[in-house]
Each structure stands twice: as C-alpha cells, then as structure tokens.
Amino acid sequence: MARLEKSALNHLGRFAATRTELTRVLKRRVARAVRAELIERDEAAAMIETVVAKIAAAGYLDDTAVARARAAGMRRAGRSSRIIAQKLAAKGISRDQTTEALAAADGEDDKAELRAAATLAARRKLGPYRNGSRDEATLKRDLAALARGGFSYGIARTVAQASSPEALAALLGEPD
C-alpha cells in the first residue's frame, strides 16, 4: 500500500491528473503483480480506491482545477469547445466541470470560439493566413480543416473567407 501511495504521489508530482487518470495509472502499475498472481485483482482494486481516496482527501487531486487549466491551455492553442469537451471527457471530467472550465477559460469573451478558430487558422496557415492563391479548392480544404478542428460551419466559413488577417482581427475587435 505504501509503495502504491508513493507511486501515486510521484506521478502527481510530475503531472496534474484527475481522479480517473490517477486510477488508470495505478491500475497499470499493479497489473504486473496481478498477472504474476502476487495479489488478487479485487484486492488490488480495493487498494487503488483507498489510495486515490486518501490522496483526494489530502487535497492533492482537484478535477476542477485540472479541467480549468487544460481548457484554458487548449483554448489558447485554438481548440474548439467541442474538441475541448471531448478531450476533458476522456480524462474523466464531468460535463458540469467541463462547462464550468470552458466558461472560466472564455471569461466574458463572446467571440471565444471565433478567436480560437482564428488562432488555429493562423497556426495552420489557413484562410487569410494562407500564402499563394486562394481559390475554391483551397477554401474547401480550409473549411474541412476547421471542421475537423470541431468548429461549426458558420465559424469556419467566417475565418476561411476573411480577406486578410487584419480583417479577421477587426472582426474579432482586436486593435491593429
């Protein structure tokens, strides 16, 4: 039990993790002992639950804080709300926590989704950031890339059809 607890604390010292992520890490950690029949599967599961509960009670696990940090980072990187919600759900974060994290990441910005799409477009050289010709085929490719990024057709079209980065910045209300 002490070794498992130490392993959990070492992991949390290196990575911010949710309860679900920490449980997965600890399950992988004890899987070898279970396969070697050094410990029963049920006993290992009970130990993992005990360790995770103890660490959570000590305040080392905070799913809400992890969700907020990851949502803010993904939003800055140009991720859509849909993609952020999917990635947070995969980490074991509830819908309510995801909604709260997105609200915290976006703040009072009513154009956060459009701003994220513009960030993705700038990073991937799409739409107004594209070098060279901008014909119908490139517009379709840009729309497809933004759609794969989780953005709605309306937002993708707005970003992809912007005439220049300055025009997009003006649409977002950013100063020159």
**Tens of pLDDT along 70-121?**
999 999 999 999 999 999 999 999 999 999 999 999 988 889 999 999 999 9
Same domain for 167 and 123, yes or no, is yes
Report pTM: 0.83
Task: Determine the average pLDDT of the residues in 2-16.
Answer: 90
Count the alpha carbons within 13 Å of 22 in the hemisphere toward its beta carbon. 32
Report whether 81 contacts 71 (CB < 8 A): no
- Whether the CA torsion 36, 42, 47, 49 is positive or negative: it is positive
Mean pLDDT calculated for residue range 156-174: 89
Residue among 123, 157, 164, 163 at smallest CA distance from 142: 157
Q: Are residues 72 and 36 in the same domain?
A: no
36 and 51 belong to one structural domain: yes
- What type of residue sits at position 64? T
- Name the pLDDT band for 41 (thresholds 50, 70, 90): confident
19 and 53 both lie in a single domain? yes
- Worst-scoring range by mean pLDDT, 16-25, 30-39, 114-123? 30-39
Q: How confident is the model at residue 10 (pLDDT cuts 50, 70, 90)?
A: very high
Same domain, yes or no: 156 and 131: yes
Residue 120's domain comprises 112-172
The residue-averaged pLDDT of 18-23 equals: 92
Count other Cβ atoms within 10 Å, centred on residue 85. Answer: 19
Clarify whether residues 125 and 101 are in a common domain. no
What is the pLDDT at residue 148? 95
Does residue 118 share a domain with residue 95?
A: no
pLDDT at 155: 95
Residues 124 and 162 placed together within one structural domain of the fold:
yes
Tell me how far apart the alpha carbons of residues 25 and 116 are, in angstroms, rounded to a whole number.
32
Q: What's the CA gap between 43 and 53, in Å, rounded?
A: 15
Helix 95-106 and helix 63-76, axial crossing angle in degrees, nearest 10: 50
Q: Record the tokens describing residue 114, joined without a space.
A: 């459009």
With vertex at residue 37, the alpha carbon angle to CA 35 and CA 39, rounded to the nearest 5 degrees, is 105
Number of domains in the chain: 3
Domain co-membership, 7 together with 48: yes
Query: How many percent of the chain have pLDDT more than 90?
Result: 69
Q: Both 119 and 99 in a single domain?
A: no
DSSP 151: -
